[in-house]
Chain A
Amino acid sequence: QVQLQESGPGLVKPSETLSLTCIVSGDSISSSNYYWDWIRQPPGKGLEWIGSIYHSGRRYYNPVLQSRVSISIDTSKNLFSLNVDSVTAADTAVYYCARGEILGQFDNWGQGSLVTVSA
């Protein structure tokens, strides 16, 4: 049974870079045919897809965020990461990592990590 766990600072200053990692257990990122995804949810609001990375390394980003977002895989540590540059208060959200067979199908989710952008 695959498990995903987000990790990272809970507080980031405006204009800085938000960095999160998703540690995967129960599956190998490099060998499985899955997409590894990031989704976020501002407090009290709906879900927003940030982007996905395929096991081959191909990346897909939300066009709204594409200029500030990057997703990468570290196969040696079996984790994938998210960076969001030049954050503002609008980036305050619970950030979820997930795994899915198809883009849009998020089969397994992490528990979520609240990141607050504030000075």
Chain B
Amino acid sequence: QSMLTQPPSASGTPGQRVTISCSGGSSNIGSDYVYWYQQLPGTAPKLLIYTNDQRPSGVPDRFSGSKSGTSASLVISGLLSEDEADYYCAAWDDSLGAVIFGGGTKLTAL
């Protein structure tokens, strides 16, 4: 099944700005909303960004999302060690009639 494409890993030093990309196509990111999920080690995923760029209540404003064409990005401004986690993007795919996820990006704070 088609997936959204994410880099398998990303890293940064505390305080640094980190960007995680998510690439798709016209039938998913290009025509529908993008969502981002954070999964801390050993826990269930948590909604981080919804409808491309909105933060749920309680999510720090150092997390931001954007979408352009068939790609999306998650930006963490001012990386903290507690941000070490796996990050997944997701979108509805009109052609498949399914929710698809990216393969996940493991973020490491150096």
- A107 CA / B101 CA spacing, docked (Å): 15
Residues of B within 8 A of A52 (CB): 99
Q: Is the CB–CB distance between B1 and A96 below 8 Å?
A: no
A8 interface contact, C-beta 8 A: no
B50 to chain A, nearest CB (A): 5
A110 at the interface (CB under 8 A from B): yes
Range of interface residues on chain B?
20 to 34
Query: A103 at the A/B interface (Cβ < 8 Å)?
Result: yes
Given contacts A47-B88, A96-B45, A112-B44, contact A105 B35 (CB under 8 A): yes
Is A62 in contact with B47, judged by CB distance below 8 angstroms? no
A37 to B90, CA, bound (A): 14
CB proximity of B40 to chain A, nearest CB, Å? 12
Q: With A64-B1, A111-B44 given, is the CB distance from A106 to B37 under 8 Å?
A: yes
- Residue from B43, B51, B97, B101 within 8 A of A46 (CB atoms): B101
Within the assembled complex, what's the spacing in Å between the Cα atoms of A110 and B44? 7
Known: A96-B45, A105-B50, A106-B45. A47 touches B37 (CB 8 A): yes
Contact of A47 among B1, B45, B47 (CB under 8 A): B45
Most chain B CB inside 10 Å of its own CB: which residue of A64, A103, A107, A110:
A103
Q: Which residues from chain A sit less than 8 Å from chain B, CB to CB?
A: 39, 46-49, 52, 60, 62-64, 96, 102-107, 109-112
